[in-house]
Amino acid sequence: MSSTSKNYWLCQLIGWTSVVLIEVSNYTFFIAKKFIPELLLSFTLQAIAGLLIMHGYRWYLKINNYQWQTNSSIWIKAFLETVVLAGLQTGSTNLIYLSLYGQAYIKEIHLIDILGNIYNWMRYIGVWVIIYFMYQLLRKSNETEKAKILAENNSKSAELELLKSQLNPHFLFNALNSIKALILIDPEKSRDAIVELSELLRFTLQYSKERLIPLEKELAEVEKYLSLEQMRFGDRLEIQLDKPEFIAHCQIPPAILLTLAENAVKHGIGRLESGGKIIIQHYKKNKLLIIQMRNSGYFEQIETGGIGLKQIRVRLGALFGEAAQFDIRNESGMVISELSIPQT
């Protein structure tokens, strides 16, 4: 028996036992002024009949695929069905009294007694119906909400996979351009560059399976990329990369920092005859990891930054909502790219 079924039967037994205790106490202390064993038997039998009727009603709701919707019509139906159920319970009560007291009971029963019994049972059955309907409505609402969240998550996952598929050729195009330039300058170094590129490509193919990766792993790939670019630029490219101890416990979306490094080289260092520097620093603020990349150059506010920068904001939004931020600006002759990523 499932936990739901166990809880259902437990509630049924507690509910109908309470009905027996309430009615027996009412007759004992306020009506008859004494305890009558036959009344205990009578109300116990009525409770058993009520349990069977309500269980049958539950079965009826299930096989008719009851539409659990939060509107006024469902409560009108609930009220009408409560009247019918109270009528059935009153009929079973009369049969029980007839079996206990015989023909003498029939002579004493009147229409007003039947209506009174229906009203009396409506109090108990109405509570049962309200609780059961509220439970089903809440369950249906939770299922709808879960389905909505699942659909949103699936949509975000599909969106992220699309973004990753766009970033792979984007990265490859930039890296191959760097190697092409390096071949013309230093064929010897270009062979080492191809090795670096193969390792980077392996990374970009593997990260598509991951939602988040360790920051240290991402930084290792960024170092490989910048090493590849340093082969091309030589002394024209200066790199400063800090690695504080806390980054060992940090995670970020894969290739997001690599994309910023590409952007810094392509749109910053690559446009300066004298070259420049790239500085990567990390900070911790409450539960936020802040990564700041500074590079020589000037960021034109009207620039879109290509696929890379546009997709950074989209990816962060899909993964973290408004909790993550990305900002790029000019400051003191440098381009500042700043990521704020929540950490658990």
Q: How far apart are CA 174 and CA 5, in angstroms?
A: 61
Structure tokens at 272: 């300066």
Pick from 272, 252, 274, 255: nearest CA to 339 = 252
The 3-state DSSP composition of the chain as helix, strand, coil percent (nearest 5) reads 75, 15, 15
Q: Give the model's pLDDT for residue 110.
A: 85
pLDDT band at 311 (very low <50, low <70, confident <90, very high): confident
pLDDT for residue 175 is more than 70: no
Q: How confident is the model at residue 43 (pLDDT cuts 50, 70, 90)?
A: very high
- Minimal CA–CA distance to 292: which of 217, 240, 249, 245? 240
Report strand pairing: 251-252 vs 213-214: antiparallel
Give the pLDDT score at 195: 82
Mean of pLDDT over the chain: 85
Answer left, alpha or beta for residue 67, where phi above 0 means left and psi between -120 and 50 means alpha: beta
Contact between residue 105 and residue 97 where contact means Cβ atoms under 8 Å apart: yes
Range with the largest mean pLDDT of 137-146, 162-171, 243-252, 257-266 = 243-252
Domains of the chain: 3-148 (no CATH), 186-342 (3.30.565.10)
Q: 32 by DSSP, 3-state: which?
A: coil
Rounded Cα distance between 48 and 44, Å, is 6
Q: Is 328 helix (H, G, I), strand (E, B) or coil?
A: strand
Q: What DSSP letter does each residue of 263-322 carry, written as one string?
A: HHHHHTGGG-TT-EEEEEEEEEETTEEEEEEEEES---TT---HHHHHHHHHHHHHHHGG
Question: Which stretch, 19-28, 188-197, 304-313, has highest mean pLDDT?
Answer: 19-28
Beta strands in the chain (DSSP E): 213-214, 237-241, 251-252, 276-285, 288-296, 325-331, 334-342
Distance from chain centroid for Cα 87: 45
What confidence tier does 185 reach under pLDDT thresholds 50, 70, 90? confident
Q: What band does 167 get if pLDDT is binned at 50, 70 and 90?
A: very low
- What local confidence, expressed as pLDDT, does residue 334 receive? 93
- How confident is the model over 94-135, as pLDDT tens digits? 998 888 887 777 777 888 989 999 999 999 999 999 999 998
Q: Any idea which of 120-124, 170-174, 308-312 has the lowest mean pLDDT?
A: 170-174
Name the strand (E) or helix (H) holding 31.
none
* pLDDT at residue 67, as a whole number: 75
The answer to whether 336 touches 294, Cβ cutoff 8 Å, is yes
User: Would you state the structure tokens that stand for residue 248, as one six-digit string?
Assistant: 């060992």
